[in-house]
C-alpha cells in the first residue's frame, strides 16, 4: 500500500459522495486506501458511506464525538500505507494537491509536507484574521515556521505519523509535534474551496482552547522529558528570595523591632512555601513523566465498529 488517506468526519453526509469522487479522481494512478473516521456523527454520514463502500474504503465508527484529534489518531493507527495523508471531510481541502505533496515527500528531504491555504475561501473577520494572529503567535513561541497551522491537508511518512502522540486537541499543532519527534517539515501552497454543504465546526470560542493547548505544547516541547528544569528554577528562586527576606526579618526581630503582621514577613513566608511546592511539584512531575513513557500504550478513543466492503458483502449473504 503506497498511500493511506485519513479523512475525519462529523456530520458531513452531503459531502461524502463528492469527496470520494474527488479523492479517487486525484489518486486513480496509485495504490491507495481511504480511511473514513466517523467522529460520532448525528446525521446520515455513516449511512451515506455504507451506500458508497468499495474495496478502497475502510470505515471507522467511533463510539461518540471525541474530537478531530482523536479521530485522526484512530485513522492513522489503522493506516497501512507507506505514506499517510490527512484531509478534512468538508470539501474545502482539495485531494488534487496530494500527488504533488507526495512527490515532494518522496524526494527524501522531508518527513512532513504541510498544506498552506494561500487563497483561503473563508470569512475574513471571523476565520482568517483570528487564524493569522494565532499562526503568528504559534510561530513566534514555538520556533517552527509553518504559516498555516490550521490546514488539515498534510502528507507524512507513516512511521512519523504513528509516533506523533495525538492527544486532547493537538491536531492543530502537528508541525510542532513532528519537529519534537525529529521530523523535517516543509510546506506547500494548496487549493482551498468555500464550504458548499453543512456547517463549520469551528468558531471564535476555540480561541481560548488553542491558547491553552499552545501553552501545554510549549511545555511539552521544552520540558516534557525534564519537567524539573521548569519547576526547579522557579522553586529555587522563590525559596532563595523567601529565605533572604525571612533572614532579614529575623535580624530585625533580634534587634528588638516588632515584625508581626508586616507584609514583607508574609511575603517571605509565602515565597518559602511556594518554593518548596514548586520543587515538590517538579519531582512529582518527573515521576509522572517516567510513568507516562513506561506505561502501556492506551488509546484516547473507543472504536464501535470497523467496516470494509467485504464485511458488507458477507452480511448480505
Tens digits of residue pLDDT in 167-222:
767 788 888 888 888 889 999 999 888 776 656 555 555 566 667 777 777 777 77
74 and 151 co-located in one domain:
yes
pLDDT cut 90: percent of the chain above it: 41
143 and 14 co-located in one domain:
yes
Residue 306 lies in a domain: no
237 and 219 co-located in one domain:
no
107, with CB counted inside 10 A (0-12, 13-18, 19+), is exposed
Residue 201 lies in a domain: yes
Please give the Cα distance from 294 to 316 (Å, whole number): 45
Q: What is the CATH number of the domain that holds 115?
A: 3.90.550.10
Q: How many residues does the chain have?
A: 317
pLDDT cut 70: percent of the chain above it: 85
Highest mean pLDDT among 156-160, 253-257, 294-298: 156-160
Domain count across the chain: 2
pLDDT at 42: 92
Contacts of 51 (CB under 8 A, 6+ apart): none
What value does the mean pLDDT take over residues 144-161? 89
What value does the mean pLDDT take over residues 93-99? 93
Q: How does strand 3-9 pair with strand 57-62?
A: unpaired
Q: Which is more confident, 52 or 135?
A: 52
CA distances from 28 to 20, 22, 194, 238, 308 (A): 11, 10, 25, 63, 19
77 and 152 co-located in one domain:
yes
Residue 315 lies in a domain: no
175 and 89 co-located in one domain:
yes
Residue 297 binned pLDDT confidence (cut-offs 50, 70, 90): low
What value does the mean pLDDT take over residues 115-144? 75
* Single pTM value for the model: 0.72
120 and 267 co-located in one domain:
no
Residue 246 lies in a domain: yes
Residue 310 binned pLDDT confidence (cut-offs 50, 70, 90): confident
What value does the mean pLDDT take over residues 42-47? 93
pLDDT at 258: 83
Residue 313 lies in a domain: no
119 and 260 co-located in one domain:
no
pLDDT at 282: 80
Domain that holds residue 42: 3-223
Contacts of 71 (CB under 8 A, 6+ apart): 8, 9, 10, 37, 38, 39, 62, 301
176 and 255 co-located in one domain:
no
213 and 240 co-located in one domain:
no
Tell me the pLDDT of the chain averaged across its residues: 84
Residue 108 binned pLDDT confidence (cut-offs 50, 70, 90): confident
Helices (H), 107-227: 129-142, 158-161, 174-180, 207-223
**SS3 for 46?**
helix
87 and 202 co-located in one domain:
yes
Amino acid at each position: 500500500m503506497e498511500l493511506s488517506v485519513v479523512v475525519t468526519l462529523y456530520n458531513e453526509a452531503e459531502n461524502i459522495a463528492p469527496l470520494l469522487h474527488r479523492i479517487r479522481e486525484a489518486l486513480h494512478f496509485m495504490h491507495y486506501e481511504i480511511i473514513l473516521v466517523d467522529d460520532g456523527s448525528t446525521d446520515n454520514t455513516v449511512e451515506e458511506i455504507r451506500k458508497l463502500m468499495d474495496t478502497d474504503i475502510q470505515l471507522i465508527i467511533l463510539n461518540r464525538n471525541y474530537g478531530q484529534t482523536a479521530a485522526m489518531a484512530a485513522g492513522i493507527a489503522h493506516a497501512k500505507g507507506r505514506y499517510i495523508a490527512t484531509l478534512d471531510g468538508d470539501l474545502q481541502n482539495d485531494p488534487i494537491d496530494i500527488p504533488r505533496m507526495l512527490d515532494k515527500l518522496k524526494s527524501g528531504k522531508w518527513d512532513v509536507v504541510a498544506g498552506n491555504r494561500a487563497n483561503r475561501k473563508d470569512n475574513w473577520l471571523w476565520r482568517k484574521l483570528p487564524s493569522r494572529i494565532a499562526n503568528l503567535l504559534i510561530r513566534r513561541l514555538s520556533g517552527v515556521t509553518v504559516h498555516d497551522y490550521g490546514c488539515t491537508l498534510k502528507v507524512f511518512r507513516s512511521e512519523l505519523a504513528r509516533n506523533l502522540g495525538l492527544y486532547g486537541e493537538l491536531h492543530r499543532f502537528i508541525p510542532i509535534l513532528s519537529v519534537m519527534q525529529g521530523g523535517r517539515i516543509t510546506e506547500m501552497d494548496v487549493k482551498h474551496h468555500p464550504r458548499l454543504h453543512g456547517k463549520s465546526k469551528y468558531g471564535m470560542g476555540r480561541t481560548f482552547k488553542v491558547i491553552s493547548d499552545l501553552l501545554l505544547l510549549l511545555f511539552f516541547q521544552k520540558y516534557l522529558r525534564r519537567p524539573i528544569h521548569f519547576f526547579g528554577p522557579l522553586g529555587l528562586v522563590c525559596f532563595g528570595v523567601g529565605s533572604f527576606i525571612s533572614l532579614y526579618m529575623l535580624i530585625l526581630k533580634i534587634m528588638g523591632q516588632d515584625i508581626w503582621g508586616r507584609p514583607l514577613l508574609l511575603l517571605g513566608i509565602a515565597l518559602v512555601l511556594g518554593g518548596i511546592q514548586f520543587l515538590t511539584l517538579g519531582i512529582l512531575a518527573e515521576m509522572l513523566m517516567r510513568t507516562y513513557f513506561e506505561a502501556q500504550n492506551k488509546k484516547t478513543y473507543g472504536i464501535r465498529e470497523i467496516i470494509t466492503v467485504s464485511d458488507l458483502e458477507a452480511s448480505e449473504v
